[in-house]
Amino acid sequence: MTLRELFNRPGVIRIAGAHNPLGARLAERAGFDGIWSSGLEISASQGLPDTDLLTMSELLQVASSMAAAVGVPVVADCDAGYGNALNVMHTVRRYERAGIAAVSIEDKMFPKVNSFVAGRQQLVSTEEFCGKIEAAKAAQRGTDLMVIARTETLIAGRSMDEALARCAAYAEAGADAVLIHAKGESPGPVLEFLGRWKAGLPVVVVPTTYHTATAEELGAAGAKLVVYANHGLRAGITAMAETFETILKEGRSTGVEERIAPLRTVFDLQGMDELKADEHRYVRGVTA
């Protein structure tokens, strides 16, 4: 199902963050409706902070490889659009060509800093960001690609009124959806936003810190798309660290074998069976 089809049917859409095709396949197999090509995950996977150090083409390469590996839509976190409105246009053209279903662009100043890092969280003006959204919509060639306008107003410690006003302006500028980001433990501010949002455009939420809210609750309050942005990455970090420590401590891997995926699962996720079938069919001279 395309992302637009998911948006057009009733119910809340759930997507999961990933930073490579393997993670994307795991999310797809678990039943998520789509993939969030996460800037945080991709930078972390390179051992780098999520502060626009990686270039657009490096992030695109990952998003594109994920889109090629799964059947579900990929929503790409395109940070602040990698520069001004002109960079946004170039970004949109490249992501669209790579088969990405949606790009999310946030109203932070380039270079951005991850929303959960204390300190500098600077926004561009509403006017400047509306120019970026208009540019994004003007740059897309087909009609499928969705542009998600993400506001970091609450992340920057500014008011709910400003968040609502900014999103209304972004809707007016042509965004297909708005994303309200928040960093507190309580879902209260996001629920307030959803309650007061009257523009009709679908709203995207990212319950990373306010994780007690269920997708169902957020959906009932008016959210359309819920992003589980970094849970695969964090689960992987814990599992890998524990596994490595145990092997060194115990001098062998026996103690972890029950807890780690067997090689047949790895082969399955790689598509080894399909490759073997192709080999059998097309590579002449192979007997077994």
164 binds ligand SPV (CB under 6 A): no
Catalytic site includes residue 50: yes
152 binds Mg ion (CB under 5 A): no
Q: Distance between CA atoms of 270 and 252, rounded to whole angstroms?
A: 26
Choice between 49 and 99, CB closer to ligand SPV = 49
23 binds ligand SPV (CB under 6 A): no
Choice between 50 and 221, CB closer to Mg ion = 50
Could you tell me which stretch among 35-43, 122-130, 192-200, 244-252 binds ligand SPV (CB under 6 A)? 35-43
Catalytic residue (one of 50, 52, 107, 176): 50
207 binds Mg ion (CB under 5 A): no
Choice between 34 and 39, CB closer to Mg ion = 39
Residues 6+ apart with CB under 8 A from 240: none
- Per the CB < 8 A criterion, the answer to whether 181 and 151 are in contact is yes
Instruction: Please choose which of Mg ion, ligand SPV, none residue 34 contacts, taking the beta carbon within 5 to 8 angstroms, the exact cut-off set by kind.
Output: none
Binding mask 60-89 for ligand SPV (x = CB under 6 A): -----------------x------------
Could you tell me which stretch among 33-41, 136-144, 166-174, 193-201 binds Mg ion (CB under 5 A)? 33-41
Q: Among residues 15, 38, 180, 223, which is the contact residue for ligand SPV, using CB under 6 A?
A: 38
39 binds ligand SPV (CB under 6 A): yes
37 binds ligand SPV (CB under 6 A): no
Could you tell me which stretch among 38-46, 123-131, 243-251, 261-269 binds ligand SPV (CB under 6 A)? 38-46
Selection from 33, 116, 43, 45 nearest residue 75 by Cα: 33
Q: Among residues 139, 204, 206, 226, which is the contact residue for ligand SPV, using CB under 6 A?
A: 206
17 binds Mg ion (CB under 5 A): no
Q: Among residues 64, 91, 114, 153, which is the contact residue for ligand SPV, using CB under 6 A?
A: 114
Q: Distance between CA atoms of 143 and 63, rounded to whole angstroms?
A: 20
Residues 6+ apart with CB under 8 A from 9: none
Where on the chain is the footprint of Mg ion (CB under 5 A)? 39, 77
- Catalytic site positions: 50
Binding positions for ligand SPV, rule: CB under 6 A: 17, 38-40, 50, 77, 114-115, 206, 208, 229-230
